[in-house]
Structure 1
Amino acid sequence: MAIFTVIGLGSFGQTIALELTKLGHDVIGIDTEQRNIEQVADHITHAVIADATDEKVLEELNVQKSEAAIVAIGEDIEASILCVLNLKNLDIQHVWVKAKTKSHHTILSHLGVDKIIHPEEDMGIRIAQTLSYPMVSRYMALEHDHYIVKVVISEHMKGVHLHGLMGKYAQSVHILLLKRNQEIFYHLPEGFTLEPEDILIVEGLQQDLQKLSSSFK
């Protein structure tokens, strides 16, 4: 069990605080709005109405004991930056921050935060990817344009030879595993054929995955 601090309890901050609590962690939630505090007060460890731009306030709340702090302040960019500076002064091990604009992102990058989050932008990308490639139910970005994607095999793909489908992408797109019912296959023999509802996990460069995805339509 770890201690986390979430500063800013709008919808984004609340989601993080509640999920961390569900995962068994202690959560300190801080916001200046009583309404936001009331919405989570009965569900997280500590919910406090406080000004997180005041370093002394944060110190009194023992946020320095947190393994990580998430600054989820929405519109007030100045308050977000002040919070980051305070958290850095308190030697918080990991600081993640929600960025509102490109200039906000630039400033945060110079402050040495561990992770800059763009929730609206990230969600927009996910929605666009889902609309463009509906057969890809999940994906995870790695470094250098590499992705891991989860593909659920549809009815019309029944009986298709997997290795034949991979074809010219076999060198750049790698099959990590295939799950069929409760059985997981890590090494698939030549001639292996697909069945509806098979779950395929593959990894590769984004451009190759996009080209390959047309084969699953």
Structure 2
Amino acid sequence: MFSRSDAASVAAADSVAVIGLGRFGRALALELMANGTEVLGIDADESIVQELNGHLTHVVCADSTREEVLKQLAVPEFDRVVVSIGSDIQASILTTSLLLRSDVEHLWAKAVNDAHGTILEQLGVRHVVYPEKEMGRRVAHLVRGSMQDYLEIGDGFSLVKMAPPLGIVGKSLGESRVRSTAGVTITAVRPKGGTWTHTSETTVIAASDTILVSGPTAKAEAFSLRR
């Protein structure tokens, strides 16, 4: 079992506890590990825990709906806690409630639908995520336009990776006046085979470049459809 002294040493660094190691939780935990974060993974399924043994800093088979288990694993002491339980909404809500009662400040929780998310928000979770819903919206924008990648920042504002419209090829950004005519900003450019660099008024866009565009979602999408 993961001792309190072990947990304290992990929490002194950048540490995250991920509760629920299904597809979302597993991907999250492994990505955190890949970026140097120490991760405690918790799941009620022994087979999942065995699969991830050696891939996370610590991985434990435990029932997160029991307050004494969360305290024994020192979960409230971690820098961040993510409740990514999706298959059992009752377990998600109870686990989240126990963590909030333990004054976990930086808590994220996965919601599988709007009703689940509403309950989490009413409990007091400030960071509720909807992985399936958000991915569906993202893919919809990619399918509609000619974007290579898309990230909605919030409040209708997005970052879009795309090939440059023909109308701006061979021109400097100052000359093409993208911001005033399209309502978006080309913030970075990557030549074919090159690396990303910030743009300026004198940056000239080539047909083979990839550009990063920021702006209101509707305008960024419209810009990606220009020919």
Aligned partner of 2:41 in structure 1 is 29
Superposed, 1:1-217 pairs within 5 Å as 1-134=13-146, 136-153=147-164, 159-161=169-171, 163-164=175-176, 166=178, 169-170=181-182, 172-180=183-191, 181-182=194-195, 184-189=197-202, 193-216=204-227
For residues 133-191 of structure 1, the C-alpha deviation after alignment (integer angstroms, 9 at most, x for no partner) is 23x2222222321112122348x679453543738535x212223233347242133xx
TM-score, normalized by length of structure 2? 0.83
Cα displacement (A) at 1:212:
1.6
CA distance in 1, matches of 2:113, 2:104: 24
Secondary structure of 1:104 counterpart: helix
Q: Contact 1:7 / 1:71 at 8 angstroms: preserved in 2?
A: yes
CA distance in 1, matches of 2:52, 2:225: 44
Q: Contact 2:86 / 2:110 at 8 angstroms: preserved in 1?
A: yes
Q: Contact 2:21 / 2:43 at 8 angstroms: preserved in 1?
A: yes
What residue ranges of structure 2 are gaps of 5+ in the alignment? 1-12
Secondary structure of 1:142 counterpart: strand
RMSD (Å) for aligned C-alpha atoms: 2.2
For residues 75-123 of structure 1, the C-alpha deviation after alignment (integer angstroms, 9 at most, x for no partner) is 2111101111111122222111111121111111111212111111122
Secondary structure of 2:69 counterpart: helix
Distance 1:186 1:10, change over 3 A: same
Distance 1:183 1:19, change over 3 A: closer
CA distance in 2, matches of 1:185, 1:12: 33
For residues 2-27 of structure 1, the C-alpha deviation after alignment (integer angstroms, 9 at most, x for no partner) is 11111111111111111111111211
CA distance in 2, matches of 1:85, 1:115: 14
CA distance in 2, matches of 1:147, 1:16: 22
Bigger Cα displacement from structure 2, 76-85 vs 139-148: 139-148
What residue ranges of structure 1 are gaps of 5+ in the alignment? none
Secondary structure of 1:57 counterpart: helix
Q: Contact 1:3 / 1:65 at 8 angstroms: preserved in 2?
A: no
Cα displacement (A) at 1:194:
2.7
> Match of 1:188, as an amino acid?
E
Distance 1:205 1:183, change over 3 A: closer
Q: Contact 2:39 / 2:57 at 8 angstroms: preserved in 1?
A: yes
TM-score, normalized by length of structure 1? 0.87
